A and B are shown apart, each in its own frame.
Chain A
Amino acid sequence: GNSVTQMEGPVTLSEEAFLTINCTYTATGYPSLFWYVQYPGEGLQLLLKATKADDKGSNKGFEATYRKETTSFHLEKGSVQVSDSAVYFCALNLWAGSYQLTFGKGTKLSVIP
């Protein structure tokens, strides 16, 4: 079956530090890959996505590259801000009648001033 594994948190960083959240996947086929962000008490927002190998998704200073050879989609940001504090979910989907999403367990990021 399909699965997503992401690094466990929580992750605590100082403002302006470099962020990496690792994500690897297992899938039968060629999935699309996503990073979602969830702020406290809210639903999920799409942060970025990539639909094929070597694609780089980017948004709000965050980047992730679809690496087929390592089945990875690591999230990076060069300089985090306090406002980036949230839970980040890596996910994949494949057409199986409904493009169902498979989520990782989430990584909580706390950025301190």
Chain B
Amino acid sequence: GAVVSQHPSWVICKSGTSVKIECRSLDFQATTMFWYRQFPKQSLMLMATSNEGSKATYEQGVEKDKFLINHASLTLSTLTVTSAHPEDSSFYICSARTAGDNEQFFGPGTRLTVL
């Protein structure tokens, strides 16, 4: 149980295009989902927290207009990187938790490469 999937697992796009990454909780309802970014050989940096049906809360320094997060249902959150540039290339990881549980379950990550 407690499986989180991400799609796609990797994506290559041209500079200036937008990319959408999906995060799904497969066997539980995720009241809260988190989006992280991980640079090579570094720790995870929390980008934003989203609760189902409400606007995401972004961490300081994260551009909300560039990284659009939607959490429209209890099993799906999406991260859209708008007008992507090479510096947006990174490993993006989502996690999810259910109400009443303090544990987060992580997706396998999405490798984004912007050419």
Q: Name A residues whose Cβ lies closer than 8 Å to a Cβ of B.
A: 32, 34, 36, 41-46, 49, 51, 89, 93, 95, 98-101, 103-106, 108
Stretch at the interface among B12-20, B41-49, B62-70, B74-82: B41-49
Contacting A at CB under 8 A, from B20-70, are 32, 34, 41-44, 46, 49, 51, 57
The residue that A105 contacts in the complex, of B6, B32, B42, B97, with Cβ under 8 A, is B42
Q: Once the chains bind, are A49 and B103 in contact (CB under 8 Å)?
A: yes
Q: Residues of B contacting A101 with CB < 8 Å?
A: 34, 46, 95, 104
| Known contacts A44-B44, A89-B43, A105-B42; A99 and B102 CB within 8 A of each other | yes
- Given the complex of chains A and B, what is the CA–CA distance between A113 and B63 in angstroms? 45
Q: From B31, which residue of chain A is reached at the shortest CB distance?
A: A98
Q: Residues of B contacting A43 with CB < 8 Å?
A: 6, 93, 106-109
